[in-house]
Amino acid sequence: MGEADLRRIIARVEDLPTLPRTVLRITELVNDPRASAKDLSIIITDDQVLTARLLKLVNSSFYGFPQRVSTVTGAIVLLGFDAIRNLLLTTSVLDLFPARIAHVRRDQEQLWDHSLGCAIGAKAIGNFLRHDKLEELFVAGLLHDIGKIVEMMFLPDEFARITERVRAEGVLISSAEQELQGCTHADIGRLLAERWNLPAKLVGVIARHHTPAAAGVFAIESSIVHLADIFTRALDLGSGGDDKVPPLDKAAWELLKLKPGAIDAIMASMLTEFDDIRSFLS
């Protein structure tokens, strides 16, 4: 991306929404080794919406706990601090971009379905590889295309030209973005993630989900999200702005060491979870 393009984008997204104070406080608390489940519980129960969401999630079949969880402290103990932070981060981000124009709302809903599919796929692949941070992978999948939401809402004219090019020529959206805008949604997503002070790993995955081999220390996570993106498009879950399945990065595939036989199991798991989890995030 050229320097002039970067400056122009930064100028246009200056009014980006900020994360709610509660989520920022929770993020700080999770990073504090002295914090207890009770400290976290006090902050969450202060916010009725977050409390309701948390209990709804922990009692959903997504987690599959055999007994009903009725207290926030119980949910924290069961899920762990990182999972709570990721959940609240996810649902709060969804709230930040209310689309008021009908066609933008439709595009956004399709994109969120795509993002949700990718999140579930990243978690399923991580589970298969015995990755120890499945919640982190879920959030990375959910936010990997956050740059497209910014384009839809803050750069509508450019985005309209990009989607027209995608429709007319059948190219990948990232190719059209690069050609018409000088940067891609991955570049814009990185800007937003940095502005929100999201963890470095999330910033890395958002920036490199199409070029995972270049993600350095986050190459594994970026490769997982890259593959989850391909699976989601192959299974037609939502829309990432074009109807094409992008090429697989060979280095990413070799890095993950997945056997072809794993593809079926991961896809089966993705489809089973998609409808269920969609119902409580929507």
Partner 1 sequence: MPTLILDDVKPGMTLAQPVYTHQDRLLLEAGRRISEKHLRIFKSWGVAAVAVKGSAAGDGSTSMGADVPATGILDDAFRARFAGVLDDPVMVAIMEAAARHLAGRGRKRKVRHGRS
- State the residues that interact with partner 1 by CB under 8 A: 128, 170, 230-231, 233-236, 243-248, 250, 253, 259-268, 271
Q: Give the nearest distance from C-beta 231 to partner 1 in angstroms.
A: 7
Q: Give the nearest distance from C-beta 266 to partner 1 in angstroms.
A: 8
In the bound state with partner 1, the residue whose beta carbon lies nearer, of 34 and 250, is 250
Count of Cβ atoms closer than 10 Å to residue 48 Cβ: 9
In the bound state with partner 1, the residue whose beta carbon lies nearer, of 14 and 264, is 264
Q: Give the nearest distance from C-beta 8 to partner 1 in angstroms.
A: 31
How many residues are given for the chain? 282
CA dihedral 207, 213, 215, 221 (to 10 degrees): 90
Question: Residue 165 phi/psi, 5° resolution?
Answer: -65, -40
- Which strand (E) or helix (H) includes residue 195? helix 185-195
CA distance 21 to 35: 18
Q: Give the nearest distance from C-beta 258 to partner 1 in angstroms.
A: 9
Q: Give the nearest distance from C-beta 14 to partner 1 in angstroms.
A: 37
Residue 212 burial by Cβ neighbours in a 10 Å radius (0-12, 13-18, 19+)? buried
CA distance 218 to 198: 14
Q: Give the nearest distance from C-beta 96 to partner 1 in angstroms.
A: 30
Q: Give the nearest distance from C-beta 222 to partner 1 in angstroms.
A: 17
In the bound state with partner 1, the residue whose beta carbon lies nearer, of 32 and 236, is 236
CA distance 19 to 69: 27
Token pair 């700080």: residue: 28
Tokens found for residue 176: 């059209």
In whole angstroms, how far apart are CA 105 and each of 152, 179, 238, 275, 277? 10, 25, 13, 20, 20
In the bound state with partner 1, the residue whose beta carbon lies nearer, of 107 and 249, is 249
In whole angstroms, how far apart are CA 147 and each of 122, 209, 257, 275? 18, 12, 29, 25
Q: Give the nearest distance from C-beta 75 to partner 1 in angstroms.
A: 30
Token pair 């989850």: residue: 228
In the bound state with partner 1, the residue whose beta carbon lies nearer, of 20 and 126, is 126
CA dihedral for 199, 204, 210, 213, sign (positive or negative): negative
Q: 3-class SS at 27?
A: helix
In the bound state with partner 1, the residue whose beta carbon lies nearer, of 45 and 269, is 269
